[in-house]
């Protein structure tokens, strides 16, 4: 009996993987075909982007401040506090900005998409679209995934900038530094590859967050309990995938840096 249950679980796992792959495949099949729901994409960009700004601003600012504060004692040991702007710039632009944004968006956007689509699924609103000859995948999924893919890189860059301001504020608490001087010194240590890698990472993060939220919500079942489960799984899975992508992309960018 336990053997058959194990077999069933393995089977279900592979069925799930196959379903998810088809769901992602459908995106690439339909994204370039008409009709294009530009208005809905813009609407979703507003929901994903503009409405996340306050949270991203606060988180970015605090991350920059706290990271600078925690790094200071170690640098002080070597009398190297003047390296703080370049250290912070590298850390924030290469890793923290895009990663913090992705994690915040996994929680805020991923869960919201999962819950919204899940609720639409269990209340038959998605079926209602289908019977009205409206392609719900195109209208709901493609618009949301495009919105997260476009908006999260922009939010990532914005978060990096705000985090650097947070870092600058912390630096000025201990020593007098000009705003321009801090940023000139900081930006001097950043290469095009750093910014490019950060934006590329954010594009992948945005796609993943949108796709996971949509997949979990679109396939929600079992009433309101299913909606909660979809929202929860969207957050957990997208965060997990974000970390996996972070490791892979950082590794690839390091190889590029070597050559």
Partner 1 sequence: MQETNQHITHKNEAVISIRGLYKSFGTLDVLKGIDLDVFKGENVAVLGRSGTGKSVLIKILAGLLKPDKGNVTVLGKDVSTLKEKELDALRLKIGFSFQNSALYDSMNVGQNLAFPLQMNFKNLSKKEIDTAVAEVLDAVGLKNKINEMPADLSGGQRKRIGIARTLILKPEIMLYDEPTSGLDPVTCIEINELIKEVQKKYKTSSIIITHDLTCAKATGDRVAMLLDGKFFKVGSFDEVFDTDNKLVQSFFNYNFIK
Q: Which residues bind partner 1 (CB under 8 A)?
A: 35, 119-120, 123-125, 127-128, 130-135, 139
d(CA 100, CA 110): 14
Query: Smallest distance from the beta carbon of 136 to partner 1, in angstroms?
Result: 10
Q: What are phi and psi of 94, to 5 degrees?
A: -70, -40
Query: How does DSSP assign 110-169, residue by residue?
Result: IHHHHHHHHHHHHTTHHHHHHHTT--HIIIIIIHHHHHHHHHHHHHHHHHHHHHHHHHHH
Q: Does the CA dihedral 112-113-119-123 come out positive or negative?
A: positive
Instruction: For partner 1, give the closer residue by CB, 116 or 246.
Output: 116
Query: Smallest distance from the beta carbon of 138 to partner 1, in angstroms?
Result: 10
Query: Smallest distance from the beta carbon of 41 to partner 1, in angstroms?
Result: 15
Instruction: For partner 1, give the closer residue by CB, 128 or 248.
Output: 128
Instruction: For partner 1, give the closer residue by CB, 117 or 162.
Output: 117
Query: Smallest distance from the beta carbon of 184 to partner 1, in angstroms?
Result: 47
Query: Smallest distance from the beta carbon of 127 to partner 1, in angstroms?
Result: 6
CB 82 within 8 A of CB 68: no
Instruction: For partner 1, give the closer residue by CB, 18 or 178.
Output: 18
Instruction: For partner 1, give the closer residue by CB, 50 or 193.
Output: 50
CB 33 within 8 A of CB 135: no
């Amino acid at each position: 009996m336990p053997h058959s249950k194990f077999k069933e679980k393995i089977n279900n796992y592979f069925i799930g993987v196959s379903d998810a792959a088809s769901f992602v495949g459908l995106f690439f099949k339909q994204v370039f075909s008409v009709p294009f729901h530009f208005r809905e994409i813009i609407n979703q960009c507003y929901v994903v982007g503009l409405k996340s700004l306050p949270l991203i601003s606060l988180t970015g600012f605090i991350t920059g401040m706290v990271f600078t504060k925690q790094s200071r004692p170690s640098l002080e040991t070597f009398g190297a506090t003047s390296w703080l702007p370049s250290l912070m710039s590298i850390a924030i632009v290469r890793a923290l900005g895009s990663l913090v944004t992705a994690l915040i968006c996994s929680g805020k956007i991923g869960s919201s998409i999962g819950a919204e689509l899940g609720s639409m699924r269990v209340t038959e609103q998605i079926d209602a679209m289908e019977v009205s000859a409206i392609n719900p995948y195109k209208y709901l999924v493609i618009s949301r995934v495009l919105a997260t893919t476009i908006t999260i890189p922009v939010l990532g860059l914005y978060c990096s900038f705000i985090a650097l301001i947070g870092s600058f504020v912390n630096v000025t608490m201990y020593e007098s530094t000009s705003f321009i001087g801090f940023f000139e010194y900081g930006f001097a240590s950043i290469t095009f590859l750093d910014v490019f890698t950060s934006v590329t990472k954010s594009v992948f993060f945005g796609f993943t967050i949108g796709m996971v939220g949509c997949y979990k919500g679109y396939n929600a079942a079992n009433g309101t309990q299913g909606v909660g489960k979809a929202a929860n799984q969207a957050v957990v899975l997208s965060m997990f995938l974000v970390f996996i992508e972070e490791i892979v992309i950082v590794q690839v960018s390091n190889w590029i840096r070597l050559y």
